[in-house]
């Protein structure tokens, strides 16, 4: 657009010439700006304000940052899985997207336009580890608030309210905890039509590995029924005596659970530190439900030096990209 404006007043000329001189005719609109033949003021275009390239990029970056923060706060969260407690459902170094709104917001702000539902048995969830809330755990929901759960190490079965949980039990070779390779199946009896998901046990005479859970550290639901607390149930003495746990389960110190509780277990049953060892997951510690793997990498042995750029192309598990967690 040019910076100079040229205005040309419109004049109406008579088709005949007067014989006698007349007084100068005042042009219409000479005192009030340029006018048309109908006497309406013409709109004069004003030069627009042009943003600099730097400002446009800055505003775009700010908007993008705000949208990203909103999404990370209320919609999705990215997490990395460092252990094999959920193999072969989730691999070590899987990078997951977590649906944070599906179970409803834990904050005051609610987003009613987004679909919500209650936590269900079988959901693979991300939650803050009760003994260290700075650490996120990934496990499968086995028992719901108010239910009774029991794990039998003798035959590797889980019972909920006295009924066997329909799981597809598969037996695998023993692995070291930091082994990033998939579990190698040595015996698969096959899945029954009612089985909901697959779990893995070490094939060490079937009972010997599982019997390790009968030591003093595994005291919840191991070969004895355990009732999962609900919101408002009395807090047991073992939590009352631990100030850190008390803040997690009974922050208002009224002697009762602040939220419903959930019993969670890993799919890699003989290599999973889960609710059998440390207890239940409070509802207000649940981050969300796992959706899919957006990236996965096999970095091999922990602590081994490597080149991140080279690893991206040579060690990325491309086949797991976009894999949905069930």
CA–CA dist 86, 268 (Å, integer)? 5
- Alpha helix (H) ranges present in the chain? 53-74, 237-240, 243-249, 275-278, 308-314
Question: Are 144 and 119 spatial neighbours (Cβ–Cβ below 8 Å)?
Answer: yes
Could you read off the pLDDT tens digit of each residue along the chain, which spans 326 residues? Answer: 444 444 444 443 334 434 444 444 444 444 444 454 444 555 555 556 666 777 676 666 666 666 555 555 557 889 999 999 999 999 999 999 999 988 976 544 555 566 789 999 999 999 999 999 999 999 999 999 999 999 998 889 999 999 999 999 999 999 988 899 999 999 999 999 999 999 999 987 555 444 555 555 788 999 899 999 999 999 999 999 999 999 999 999 999 999 999 999 999 999 999 999 999 999 999 999 999 999 999 977 655 667 888 888 899 999 999 999 99
Residue entry with tokens 């408002």: 232
Residue 295: beta bridge partners?
95
Q: Give how far the C-alpha of residue 228 lies from the chain's centroid of Cα atoms, to the nearest Å.
A: 25
CA–CA dist 103, 287 (Å, integer)? 9
Q: What is the pTM of this model?
A: 0.75
């Amino acid at each position: 657009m040019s910076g100079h404006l040229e205005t040309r007043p419109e004049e109406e000329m008579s088709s005949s010439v007067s014989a006698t001189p007349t007084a100068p005719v005042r042009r219409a609109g000479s005192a009030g700006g340029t006018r048309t033949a109908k006497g309406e003021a013409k709109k004069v275009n004003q030069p627009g304000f042009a943003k600099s390239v730097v400002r446009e990029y800055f505003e775009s970056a700010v908007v993008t940052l705000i949208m990203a923060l909103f999404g990370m706060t209320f919609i999705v969260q990215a997490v990395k899985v460092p252990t094999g407690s959920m193999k072969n459902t989730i691999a070590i170094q899987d990078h997951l997207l977590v649906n944070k709104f599906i179970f409803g917001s834990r904050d005051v702000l609610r987003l009613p336009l987004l679909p919500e539902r209650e936590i269900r048995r079988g959901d693979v969830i991300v939650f803050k580890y009760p003994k260290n809330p700075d650490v996120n755990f990934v496990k499968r929901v086995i028992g719901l608030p108010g239910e009774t759960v029991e794990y039998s190490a003798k035959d590797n079965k889980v019972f909920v309210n006295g009924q066997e949980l329909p799981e597809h039990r598969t037996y695998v070779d023993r692995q070291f905890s930091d082994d990033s390779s998939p579990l190698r199946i040595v015996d698969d009896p096959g899945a029954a039509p009612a089985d909901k998901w697959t779990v893995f046990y070490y094939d060490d005479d079937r009972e010997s590995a599982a019997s390790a859970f009968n030591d003093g550290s595994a005291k919840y639901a191991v070969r004895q029924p355990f009732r999962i607390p609900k919101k408002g149930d009395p807090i047991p003495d073992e939590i009352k005596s631990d100030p850190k746990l008390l803040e997690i389960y009974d922050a208002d110190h009224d002697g009762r659970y602040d939220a419903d509780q959930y019993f969670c277990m890993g799919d890699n049953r003989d290599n999973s530190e889960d609710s059998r060892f440390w207890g239940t997951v409070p509802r207000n510690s649940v981050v969300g439900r796992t959706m899919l793997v957006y990236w996965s990498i096999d970095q091999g042995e922990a602590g081994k030096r490597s080149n991140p750029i080279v690893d991206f192309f040579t060690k990325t598990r491309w086949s797991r990209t976009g894999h949905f967690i069930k």
